[in-house]
């Protein structure tokens, strides 16, 4: 393979890496302890989010200090069954 072809291969490899084609990089970790924004979109969403939290002995608590739960003084409770 001549030098020109080697350069093309090298450039192509670089482009693939830039396009995320490098399978050696680890995936972005999702912090499961963060309350998603969608959970505080409405009182219903918050209630539904809390209701669907799994019973799991191995989980760490959610980080909630910055959470501002939405409230409603007029809604009826969400049916849970």
Partner 1 sequence: MICNSRAPFAPLAPLLGAALLATCGLATASSHREAPFITTVPKVDATDFYLFRSYEGGRSDYITVVANYVPLQDAYGGPNYFAMDPNALYEIHLDNNGDAVEDISFQFRFQNKLAGGSGVTLPIGGKNVAIPLVQAGAVTGPSSPSLNLAETFTLDIKRGDRRKGSTAAVTNASGGSTSFPKPVDNIGVKTIPDYAGYAAQHIYTVNIPGCAMPAKVFVGQRQDPFAVNLGTIFDLVNAPVEVITNPALINAVPNTIADKNVTTLALEVHSSCLVKDDPVVGGWTSASLRQARLLDGSPMAGHQTAEKVGGAWTQVSRLGMPLVNEVVIGLKDKDKFNASKPHGDGQFIDYVTNPTLPALLEIALGLPGIAPTNFPRNDLVTTFLTGIAGVNQPRNVVASEMLRLNTTIPAVPFAQQNRLGIVGNILAGGNDNAGFPNGRRPKDDVVDIALVAVMGGLCVANGTTNALGFGTACNPSAVPLGATAFSLHDAVDQAVVPLLPAFPYLNTPLPGSR
Separation in Å, CA 25 to CA 9, 17, 22? 21, 10, 6
Rounded least distance, CB 71 to partner 1, Å:
5
Site for partner 1 in 6-65 (CB under 8 A): 35, 40, 43-44, 46-47, 49-51, 60-65
CA–CA separation, 2 and 5 (whole Å): 6
CA–CA separation, 16 and 30 (whole Å): 25
- Asked if 71 touches partner 1 (CB under 8 A), the answer is yes
Nearest to 66 by CA among 37, 28, 38: 37
Task: Specify the residue, 15 or 53, whose C-beta has the smaller distance to partner 1.
Answer: 53
Task: Specify the residue, 54 or 61, whose C-beta has the smaller distance to partner 1.
Answer: 61
Task: Specify the residue, 20 or 61, whose C-beta has the smaller distance to partner 1.
Answer: 61
């Amino acid at each position: 393979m001549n030098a020109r072809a080697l350069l093309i291969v090298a450039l192509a490899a670089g482009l693939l890496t830039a396009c995320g084609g490098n399978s050696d990089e680890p995936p972005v970790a999702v912090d499961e302890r963060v309350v998603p924004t969608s959970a505080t979109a409405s009182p219903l969403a918050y209630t539904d989010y809390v209701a669907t939290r799994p019973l799991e002995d191995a989980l760490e608590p959610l980080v909630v200090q910055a959470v501002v739960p939405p409230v409603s003084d007029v809604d009826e409770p969400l049916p849970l069954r």
